Amino acid sequence: MWDKNDPLLPWFFIKSAPGLGNILFKRLYDNLGSPDAILNAGEKALKQAAGLPEKTRAFLLAKQVPDEVKQELEAVRSSYARVATFSDEEYPALLRQIPDPPPYLYYYGDITAASRAVALVGSRDPSRYGLDVTRRMAKDLAEAGVTVVSGGARGIDTAAHEGALEAKGKTVAVLGCGLSVVYPPENQDLFAEIIKDGAVISEFPMNAKPEAWHFPPRNRIISGISAAVVVVEAAARSGSLITARMALEQNREVFAVPGSVASPKSAGTHQLIRQGACLIESARDVLDVLEPIFGHIETALGAGSAQTEKAAPPLPEDEALVYAALESWPVHVDEISRKVKMDAGSLSGILLSLELQGLVCQSPGKLFARGDK
């Protein structure tokens, strides 16, 4: 039975509103602060907060929980799946920065494994060369402490997950179906291995089938939780090119592995290289580019719990406010501005002051994290 006091109920109910996509949900959440605040808002507040259409406002104001929402709550609780929402610390930090982040993610395993990640994607029908390069690169990235993200599908995805596991590293599979659906079925044992130290995640309802239209949205999460996307082998019309395009839109690094000029399986990666993607031959090439970002995260992780529990140093009130809003991992300046409710000009000056004091580290892409002073 579903529980009317289930903390997930407000999230599932709001997400089920007609005409309410991820962008409008985020706008509502940012402006009103929480699902409870959204549900307690009047019609005028709902319209002002996100410009919601009339049918969406009427649904939220009626507060009549649809049967499918009740069934979804039951499916989550009966399967022991976990759900990370916007308000949870374990929600992937980089994913918060994309224009249309899902308000919550279903997952098995440890979703925080995605905090230092690179995506490897490519063909579902790769060559032996593509498989070998993927396994080697995934293994090398995992040995360097990087989480390997992919889509759990056949071909390059499977090789990426297997390479990371071979190195006893962490890997995250982002599915284009619900967690209760094993797809492809032959990867059931692989998914069981992944969740021991990594995670299998999805934004789709528990019993959602792997429909073709699910995969482009799935791809934006693959790139969204990753600092970079590596396209290993892809034909001219490969879905991996969609992932690469989304990565660029999300201000992520895009890398491509060259192949034989005679192989149509590499036509897509060659196209990416012509368009400006960084040509790489090894995991070392990826790590060299990402070192400014991963270096800051590595420093924060290496400091241990004593650093995370350390109180902020004595600072002027405005600097203390900004420092308290920072995390040990890089956060975009727009997210910081939203947290502290401060205009961009004032915030930039304060961040510069904190950086000069060694209290803040800046990474490319207007990302800021607590320093290691």
What Rg, from alpha-carbon coordinates, does the chain have? Answer: 21
Q: Where are the alpha helices (DSSP H) in 250-312?
A: 267-274, 283-302, 305-309
The alpha carbon torsion through 59, 65, 71, 73 (nearest 10 deg) reads 100
Round to the nearest angstrom and report the end-to-end CA distance of the chain: 51
Using CA atoms, how far residue 188 sits from 19, 25, 184, 322, in Å, is 35, 33, 8, 45
Of the candidates 146, 139, 145, the residue with the CA atom closest to the CA atom of residue 118:
146
pLDDT at 372: 53
Q: Is 372 exposed, middle or buried (0-12, 13-18, 19+ CB in 10 A)?
A: middle
DSSP line for 73-133:
HHHHHHHT-EEEETTSTTS-TGGGGSSS--SEEEEEE-GGGGGSEEEEE--SS--HHHHHH
Which helix (H) or strand (E) element contains residue 171? Answer: strand 171-174
Report yes or no: 104 and 202 within 8 Å, Cβ to Cβ.
no
The pair phi, psi for residue 269, each rounded to 5°, is -70, -40
Which pTM does this prediction carry?
0.78
The pair phi, psi for residue 317, each rounded to 5°, is -55, -45
Q: Which stretches of the chain drop beneath a pLDDT of 70?
A: 1-3, 295-314, 328-329, 372-373
pLDDT at 335: 84
Place of tokens 């995805």: 157
Written as six digits, the tokens of 267 are 């036509």
Query: Could you give the angle at which helices 344-356 and 317-325 cross, rounded to 10 degrees?
Result: 90
pLDDT at 303: 40
pLDDT at 261: 86
pLDDT at 1: 54
User: Which phi-psi region, left, alpha or beta, contains residue 365 (left: φ > 0; alpha: ψ -120 to 50)?
Assistant: left
Q: From CA 268, how far away is CA 215, in angstroms rounded?
A: 18
Q: From CA 40, how far away is CA 67, in angstroms rounded?
A: 21
Report yes or no: 97 and 250 within 8 Å, Cβ to Cβ.
yes
Q: Catalogue all structural domains in the chain, each as residue range(s) with its CATH number.
A: 1-79 (1.10.150), 107-293 (3.40.50.450), 303-370 (1.10.10.10)
pLDDT at 270: 95
pLDDT at 342: 87
